[in-house]
Amino acid sequence: MTSTNATEASPSGRQFLPSLSHDGDPSPNQFLLPLTAAVNEADHLQIGGCDAVELVSRFGSPLYILDELTLRAACRQYRDAFQRFYPGASQVLYASKAWNCLAVCAIVASEGLGIDICSGGELYTALQAGVRADRIYFHGNNKSFNELQLAVEAGCTIVVDNWLELETLAGLDSEQPVRIMLRFTPGIDCHTHDYIRTGRLDSKFGFDPDQLTEVFSFISQRSTLNCVGLHAHIGSQIFELQPHQDLAAVMVQWLQKAAGYGLSVTELDVGGGLGIRYNESDDPPRIDAWVKVVAEAIATACQTQGVPLPRLLCEPGRSLIGSACITAYTVGTRKEIPGIRTYVAVDGGMSDNPRPITYQSICQAVVANRLSATDQETVTIAGKHCESGDILIKDIALPKIYSGDILAVMATGAYNYSMASNYNRLPRPAAILVHEGEANLILQRETYADLIRQDRLPERLGALFNGDSSRQS
């Protein structure tokens, strides 16, 4: 089936198709739809050469549709930009909290990226996917003893967050000194949602700068610890470049102070945080523009302060995978309240996309089975959960939609599947990887049997369940 990704003047779903005409490689985080999005002869949305409507008939809905090319393009743009703009060594890590599963870990690792993990579960998945342990960095403000032990035994770098963790690691019976970095709060603010703002001093993450010299001194007296560098992360979904530039100067200062304590600190991890486009008014910087600013700021700060260039790490999540995925839903009921609002309900909601209810985030959608339709009405897209706040999109202009239509919500690759729940005992959706017309299942849809797999029914309740009410008083 032939397809086109050309945009047109009249407002229809086609307006969101990527226009790839500008110079240079497109930066995926600037597009609402994956780079391969197109419309086919049936007027259906096509991703990775696959018809989204056919995918739903084949795999059911809700359905995460992940475009391999877009994910790889984002990985390459980060990696290549560091090589172009940073004069020293560099390593891009994928913040796998954005979406951690075997296939995603395997794809980013095959592009040469390392992985940032935040739990034993994310570690286990990354290792099972074949990620090299020396490219795994373990974050978290309350890692358990078992998680630390697992990560150290595997050979990961631990990004130490607090005193308890530092003392635990110093006392571990490990053959080699434990490879660590130190996370601190740099005191840098940025404009984003409070829940995803982490660089301020008032944050649950990392050492306070006031504690750092004491921490350096502690480590310098412990042969069991090998502190290789410093880490800071200022927040997520950030469009400004200035905070990242400011962070560079602060980090290099601390690197110099750490070296003064005899620590062989040769790595700086500047975190992630670059934002993506979720609706038309969003205008995030390109990935390579972000890298250029960060790389140049670090290089300049090092030159000014006379510090040798560190190996530079960053750990984006959202800007690597957010724009590579859509979620396809089947439309169900309509509730029209004259003069007030029309609700259109889909077969998922806050359990597969918790971002709107958690961060009041705004997303965009298209009718995937009628991409060129230009008639418009304003509706509110509701989820199917027993929760009034389960609204995916408030007041969106869409062609008139009815039961059976397929709605594609855009930019759902980051913090959707990874934050998905079974609220109301909804099975979690399937995820499909699409590439050049091929569709592969990467996450199987949960079944009702999966939902009760961990349930246990004590024998005495089983008797009641089987209709034996004689035990009731």
- Geometric angle at alpha carbon 366, from 40 and 283, rounded to 5°: 110
Q: Which amino acid is at 31?
A: F
Considering only residues 381 through 420, tell me which ones interact with ligand PLP, judged by CB under 6 A.
Answer: 414
Q: Which of 237, 322, 233 is nearest to 29 (CA)?
A: 322
Stretch that binds ligand PLP, among 146-154, 233-241, 362-370, 447-455 (CB under 6 A): 233-241
The single residue among 100, 236, 323, 361 that binds ligand PLP, judged by CB under 6 A, is 236
Interaction between residue 272 and ligand PLP (CB under 6 A): yes
Q: How far is the CB of 24 from ligand PLP (least distance, A)?
A: 22
Buried b (16+ CB within 10 A) or exposed e, 317-339: bbbbbbbbbbbbbbbeeeeeeee
What is the nearest approach in angstroms of ligand PLP to the Cβ of residue 111?
16
CB nearer ligand PLP, residue 293 or residue 451: 293
Contact 37, 5 (CB under 8 A): yes
Residue with Cβ nearer ligand PLP (116 or 165): 116
Which residues are designated catalytic?
A: 386
User: In the bound complex, what is the minimum distance in angstroms from residue 98's beta carbon to ligand PLP?
Assistant: 5
Is residue 316 part of the contact set for ligand PLP (CB under 6 A)? yes
How many residues bind ligand PLP, per CB under 6 A? 20
d(CA 154, CA 171): 17
Binding mask 317-356 for ligand PLP (x = CB under 6 A): xxx-------------------------------------
Kindly tell me which of 259 and 419 has the beta carbon lying closer to ligand PLP. Answer: 419
Q: Among 240-248, 268-276, 290-298, 345-353, which window interacts with ligand PLP (CB under 6 A)?
A: 268-276
Closest to ligand PLP by CB, 101 or 464: 101
Tokens for 3, please give them.
Answer: 């397809």
User: How does 268-282 read in b/e, with b if 16+ C-beta sit within 10 Å?
Assistant: bbbbbbbbbbbeeeb
The minimum distance between CB 114 and ligand PLP, in angstroms, equals 12
Q: Among residues 271, 348, 349, 413, which is the contact residue for ligand PLP, using CB under 6 A?
A: 271
**Which residue's CB is nearer to ligand PLP, number 77 or number 237?**
237
Q: Which is nearer to ligand PLP, 316 or 429 (CB)?
A: 316
Shortest Å distance, C-beta 133 to ligand PLP: 19
- Structure tokens, 307: 């510090």
Residue that has been written with the tokens 């699409």 in this structure: 434
Cβ-based nearer residue to ligand PLP, 357 or 391: 357
| Secondary element (H or E) of residue 104 | helix 102-110
Counts for the chain of helices (H) and strands (E), in that order: 13, 21
In 3D space, the residue among 165, 246, 252, 144 whose CA is nearest the CA of residue 199 turns out to be: 246
Tell the smallest beta-carbon distance from residue 188 to ligand PLP (Å): 14
Q: Which residue is associated with the tokens 């592969």? A: 440
Sign of the dihedral through C-alpha 377, 380, 382, 388 = negative
Alpha carbon distance 42, 64 (integer Å): 21
Contact pick of 34, 48, 120, 273 for ligand PLP (by CB under 6 A): 273
Distances (CA, A) of 401 to 60, 366, 405: 19, 10, 6
Asked if 331 and 281 touch (Cβ cutoff 8 Å), the reply is no
The least distance separating ligand PLP from the CB of residue 39, rounded to whole angstroms, comes to 30
Beta-carbon contacts of 302 under 8 Å, excluding residues fewer than 6 positions away, are 252, 308, 309, 310
Please provide the distance, in angstroms rounded to a whole number, between the alpha carbons at the two ends of the chain: 68
Q: Which is nearer to ligand PLP, 40 or 185 (CB)?
A: 185
Site for ligand PLP in 188-217 (CB under 6 A): 196, 198
Q: How far is the CB of 139 from ligand PLP (least distance, A)?
A: 5
Q: Which stretch binds ligand PLP (CB under 6 A): 63-71, 125-133, 316-324, 419-427?
A: 316-324
For the CB of residue 161, give the shortest distance to ligand PLP in the complex, in Å.
9
Per-residue x/- marks for ligand PLP, 89-108, CB under 6 A?
A: ------x-xx----------
> Which residue's CB is nearer to ligand PLP, number 17 or number 117?
117
Q: What share of residues in the chain are helix, strand, coil (percent, to 5)?
A: 35, 25, 45
CA atoms lying within 13 Å on the CB side of residue 224: 12
Which residues contact ligand PLP by CB under 6 A? 95, 97-98, 116, 139, 196, 198, 233, 236-237, 271-274, 315-319, 414
